[in-house]
Structure 1
Amino acid sequence: MSRFRPGRVLGISVGTLVILMIGVYGPATLLGPLPSATVTVTAPNSAVPASTPVLPAAGSSGLLAVTAVDDTATDDTATNDTATGGDPVEPAPATLGVDTIAIGGGSDPVPMASAAKIITALVVLDAKPLAAGEPGPAYSLVTADYQDYLDYTAQDARTVIVFPGESWTEREMLQAMILGSSNNHADTLARWAFGSVDAYLIAANAWLAANGMPNTTVVDANGLLDGSAGTGTDLARVAGLAATNPVVADIIAQPASALVGQRGVRNTTEYLPEEGITGISRSYTDSGGVCFLFTGTVVAGEKAFTFAGAFLGEPDYDTLTADLTALMASARAGVTELPVLAEGDGYATLTTAWGDSADAVVATPKTRFGWQAAAGTDPVVTLDDVTTGRAGAKIGRVTVDAFGESVSSTLELDSSLTDPGPGWRLLHPVPVVSALVASW
């Protein structure tokens, strides 16, 4: 009969523990994965500063960027996003920005006056497309078109004279409406394109909703009725759509001195061109005040920045002049080339469990030319799980908002995060084993 020997049991237990430590603990700590570095998101001091546009306090106003489409690659092999010389390139086509630069005045819809005619032009061109410079189909005016001319003339509203049976091309009707602000041609175009003004109104309001202008409604084709109303934000989009429409832009850039039968038409759109302003629609009504759709352009060196704008409800033309002059002064002060993502700027700090630290910094600088009218949103930082890495290793991306668009660049380590070595691993089993378990 054997005797119980506590020493032998203790020895076996210790031996088993040693074997387990050598066979399991050692490999687990020496060969297992390291815990990922902790990440602290930071903000660099070189954030893009805001430069506020000067907008009227009264009425309703809005500004929207009109930018050039850049179809070139935007990978991180280039030194920046701007042209640096070489052969001249064709100007990029214009497109409308997504985000509003700024808004002013009230947020409720106000009467838009002849800005409604620009909506008519865009809706008609959507239904009856026309190439820039081409006359388009011809239309023989009927008695209703002549009666419109007589009625609006009797109301002392703007008209361009017509006679029954005259043939007007689509382009000529658009020129009379846009340049001459002809109220009778607005109705004629609506009937020609849609069969009736009522049918046009259904199509126009659907078009407004589909094009991101939910706070704007038209109840006529020419804006004489107060029910045709909108906000500065929506009407700035209308101005931008007009400025980027090849036909409307061509008509405004090349105003006709005469139309059918050498009939004179005075250009009502031009206003303060010396300030860099291109008028799109300018009008006055007793209830709506002065309403002006336009684009403004600021040139700095070899670059130009264009924005679309709408000023609705200005009390008089002296106030309009003063407000536009102040706006363009603020634009010249605010439009510039800015380092949106500066090389070496840190957007996160990575710290390992063994005390190493490195910053995630911008690898490729990104610049933008434009108007940062409002403070940008917080940067969005996306990082891989990092344990160790050499200086310069790509570990993620940062994305910021600048001039209404998203700009991003690769983030890299500014210094190395090294392996802590076997000593640290053996002496710190908890984080090592935890990383091992997490990897299963």
Structure 2
Amino acid sequence: MTTHTVRPAARPLLRRLSSATAPMFAALLALTAGCAGEATKTSPPPTQGGATAHVEQKQTAFDYAWPKGGQAAVFVEGVAEPASSGPVKPTPTASVAKVMTAYVFLKARPLGPGAPGPTFSISAEEAARYGERVRRFESLTPVTPGERFTQRRALEALMVVSANNIAHEIGRWVDGGEAAFVARMNRTARELGMKDTTYTDPSGFDPTTVSTAADQVKLFTAAMRDPAFVEVAGVRSYAAPGGESHPNGNTLLGKEGMLAGKTGFTTPAGANLVFAAERRINGTNHLVVGAVMAQRPGKSAGVAVTASQKLIRSIGTS
């Protein structure tokens, strides 16, 4: 059996989330679209019953350092309403789609903090596709037929290596096949109010898997409710068979208050990053959830990471 070693981010990660962030999780499940081409504020998010959730929060004006191109969205818990910049229209997600894959996996198979979870086996069919995926220049982790992955190991391969083959296997493990799993992803998107999002595959390699920065902030906010998700989305490196280390493309982890995130890059998508960070504002720590998408030019997610760093730095201090 192939052994994978994971080097996680520091475990105090969850404890760094201040108690002040708790009300945000109950209230922030929606971002409404802004006007194209300019930063916008959105109305308070609705509750599940359809009534407006009135959250008492001191409003603070920020001079957000928005990226010059593409689109972005941000929510600063407790002090500011959701805001966005750029054209609010669906754009390819690239591997940012894996946030939904991880979220659905964790909803279907809840995982305790620090627990390995159940074990799953790699199918012969997926193992046989490895060469084809290599030729398509997909992000992958080496697999063999029957190789066993714990749920946590699979999630870390998904979120750190951005392994497309693991994304597709998760679909099989949860729903018996990709079509049913993608349908579940889209149902979940509707439940979260992600009205501008469509998933056509579990990995985001398909350019018809599209979303908006505002929708991705909705999703990442919901995912951050799950301590296991926070852990796996904050892992900094993954060691593949043979000891080769795969660093997380989100090089801001451990810097600027960055807690968790997911990068994505393809030529159709450009560079994308969705993230959560903790920033100190007026003497109090607040959770910041943001997304930067369709960043160009570049040949990796690095341009989105740089744009996100500038955006984060315009919001309080680390």
TM-score scaled by length of structure 2:
0.73
Q: How many residues align?
A: 258
Indicate the SS of the match to 1:115.
helix
2:72 to 57, 61, 64: 61
Judging changes above 3 Å, is the alpha-carbon distance between structure 1 residues 268 and 115 closer, same or farther for their aligned structure 2 residues? same
Give the aligned partner of residue 175 of structure 2.
194
Are 1:137 and 2:118 matched, yes or no?
Answer: yes
1:216 deviates by 0.7
The reply to whether residue 105 of structure 1 matches residue 86 of structure 2 is yes
Match of 1:326 among 300, 306, 310: 310
Counterpart for residue 238 of structure 1: 219
Deviation of the 1:278 alpha carbon: 3.9
Aligned equivalent of 2:148, options 140, 151, 167: 167
Cα distance between partner residues in 1 of 2:130 and 2:121: 15
Matches within 5 A, 1:39-78: 50-66=61-77
Q: Which amino acid aligns with 2:311?
A: L
Go from structure 1 to structure 2 and tell me whether the alpha carbon gap of 1:286 and 1:202 turns closer, same or farther (over 3 Å shift).
same
Cα shift readout 1:56-92 (whole Å, capped 9, x = no counterpart) = 242221112456xxxxxxxxxxxxxxxxxxxxxxxxx
Distance 1:223 1:172 in 2: 20
- C-alpha offsets along residues 162-218 of structure 1, whole Å, 9 cap, x if unaligned? 000111111111111111100100001111111000000111100000012111110
Partner of 1:228: 209
Which has a greater percent of strand? Answer: 1
Instruction: Return closer, same or farther for 1:110/1:124 CA change in 2, 3 Å cut-off.
Output: same
Which amino acid is the alignment partner of residue 200 of structure 2? V
**Structure-2 residue corresponding to 1:287:** 268
Instruction: Give yes or no for contact 2:117–2:150 (8 Å, CA) kept in 1.
Output: yes
**Alignment-mate amino acid for residue 323 of structure 1:** A
Q: What 5-or-longer segments of structure 1 have no aligned partner?
A: 1-46, 68-96, 336-440
For the residues of structure 2 that align with 1:116 and 1:306, how far apart are their CA atoms? 22
> Partner of 1:275: helix, strand, or coil?
coil
- d(CA) in 2 for partners of 1:297, 1:274: 10
Q: Distance in 2 between matches of 1:215 and 1:198?
A: 20
Task: Write the distance in 2 (CA, Å) between the matches of 1:209 and 1:270.
Answer: 31
Alignment of 1:210-225 (within 5 A): 210-225=191-206
RMSD between aligned residues: 2.7
Distance 1:320 1:141 in 2: 32
* AA partner of residue 291 (structure 2): A
TM-score between the two structures when normalised by the length of structure 1: 0.54
Q: Secondary structure at the match of 1:313?
A: strand
Report the alpha carbon displacement of residue 265 of structure 1 after superposing the two structures with TM.
Answer: 3.9
CA distance in 2, matches of 1:261, 1:142: 21
Instruction: Indicate if the aligned counterparts of 2:279 and 2:287 stay in contact, CA closer than 8 A.
Output: yes
The offset of 1:329, in angstroms, is 3.2
**Aligned mates of 1:201, 1:100 — CA distance in 2:** 31
Q: CA deviation digits over 1:248-279, x for unaligned, max 9?
A: 11123344543678674432333364333345
Q: 1:180–1:48: structure 2 CA closer, same or farther, 3 Å change rule?
A: closer
The alpha carbon displacement at 1:233 in A equals 0.4
Indicate the percent of aligned positions where both proteins have the same amino acid: 25
Compare CA radii of gyration and give the structure with the larger one: 1
The match for 1:296 is 277
Q: 2:316 aligns to what SS in structure 1?
A: helix
Alignment gaps of 5+ in structure 2: 1-57
* Other structure's SS at 2:94 match: coil
Tell me, yes or no, if the aligned pair for 1:60 and 1:232 is still in contact at 8 Å: yes
Could you say what secondary structure the match of 2:82 adopts?
Answer: strand
Say if 1:63 and 1:307, in contact at 8 Å, map to a contact too: yes
